[in-house]
């Protein structure tokens, strides 16, 4: 596997990966539809954000994107194709994201996580610093907020 800068032409593939990964947590169709816009990766987004893909045998298996806002670096996306989960791809691209953040001069990355990914970010060394409460169809959702220092993840 190697990690490379994403190209605007990868947008459709990255969107498919994000949607498939989110769907793998068993969310109902109306919720998935409400997230479609947020999970749709546009070519312009790739061109204007630090976006990297994990590629194996010519196939993109996962990706991440970083976004800078008001002097803070945020992990905007980190998704792995469900069939490729539990193979170290998420860990590798998260470590790459930390390396990129450090190279860009940031000491930490901020993360708003899906509740299902909370354990992953904790294993990667992220520290929970808060939560954001949202609601979907009358159901309360707690979105964990993390900060991860830009040290190397083993």
Whether residue 42 is contained in a domain is answered as: yes
Whether residue 125 is contained in a domain is answered as: no
| Parallel, antiparallel or unpaired: strands 127-136 and 50-56 | unpaired
Whether residue 119 is contained in a domain is answered as: no
CATH number at 26 reads 3.40.630.30
List pLDDT tens digits, range 76-116. 999 999 999 999 999 999 999 999 999 999 999 999 999 99
For residue 74, the enclosing domain spans 2-106
DSSP assigned state of 51: E
List pLDDT tens digits, range 112-150. 999 999 999 999 999 999 999 988 888 899 999 999 999
Cα–Cα distances (Å) from 85 to 21, 56, 89, 113, 117, in that order, read 9, 13, 7, 17, 12
User: Angle at Cα 118 formed by Cα 106 and Cα 64, nearest 5°?
Assistant: 50
Q: For helices 11-23 and 29-39, give the axis angle rounded to 10 degrees.
A: 150
Domain count of the chain? 1
């Amino acid at each position: 596997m190697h990690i490379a800068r994403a190209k605007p032409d990868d947008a459709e593939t990255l969107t498919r990966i994000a949607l498939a990964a989110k769907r793998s947590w068993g969310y109902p169709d109306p919720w998935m539809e409400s997230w479609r816009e947020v999970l749709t990766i546009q070519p312009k987004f790739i061109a204007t954000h630090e976006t990297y893909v994990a590629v194996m045998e010519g196939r993109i298996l996962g990706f991440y994107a970083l976004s800078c806002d008001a002097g803070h670096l945020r992990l905007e996306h980190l998704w792995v194709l469900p069939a490729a989960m539990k193979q170290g791809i998420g860990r590798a691209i998260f470590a790459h994201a930390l390396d990129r953040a450090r190279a860009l001069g940031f000491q930490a990355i901020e993360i708003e996580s899906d509740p299902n990914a909370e354990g992953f970010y904790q294993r990667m060394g992220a520290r929970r610093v808060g939560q954001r409460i949202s609601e979907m169809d009358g159901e309360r959702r707690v979105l964990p907020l993390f900060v991860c220092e830009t040290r190397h993840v083993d």
